[in-house]
Amino acid sequence: MSDETIVAQALALEQVAVESYGAALGGGTPESPLPPRMMEVLRRFRRQERQHVELLASTLDALGGRVAPPPADRAELTRARTTAGLEHSLDRLRTPAEVGRFAIELENAQIARYLDAVGALQDPRLLEIATQVMAAEGQHATVLRGLLSDDVALTVPDAFERGDAPFP
């Protein structure tokens, strides 16, 4: 697989992340609203995912690749999430725990994608970008696990994060 293809795939998943965080920010119900702390974390993560999109889009453009548009609506986002192997439904974001598990699944998928990319990328500059973004996604997963559990064993990341950390 070419570096261009790897970057395009990472970009597509980052675009899904931005839109997924937007959907998660609308989660919760009047009976079970998202706590302010969780809302702030989700907003910050969405901003960081947007930064990843900007960097990957400019990188892909420099490689001569075509930057595909992000999912345009909820139906496209649902299809893109399914294609990425994400199972948590956009329609099941009614409690803080459901939103947290939804976001952890997303971060785990991104970690796994970047871990695969690290083993396949040829360009050292692209390898550096992939490892930096992968580290950020690992931090996101750790913060999310911390929001969902007081059990320190569930919030501390493994020594070697692979994108398959359990849900609290």
CATH number of the domain at 90, please. Answer: 1.20.1260.10
Separation of alpha carbons 124 and 128, rounded Å: 6
Would you mind telling me the total number of residues written for the chain in this entry?
168
Share of the chain above pLDDT 70, in %: 89
Q: How far apart are CA 23 and CA 7, in angstroms?
A: 24
In a domain, 107, yes or no: yes
Report d(CA 124, CA 132) in Å as an integer. 12
Answer with the residue of higher pLDDT: 152 or 31.
31
Domain count within the chain: 1
Please state the pTM of the whole predicted model: 0.89
Containing structural domain, residue 119: 3-155
Structure confidence by residue, pLDDT tens digits, 36-80: 999 999 999 999 999 999 999 999 999 999 999 999 999 999 999
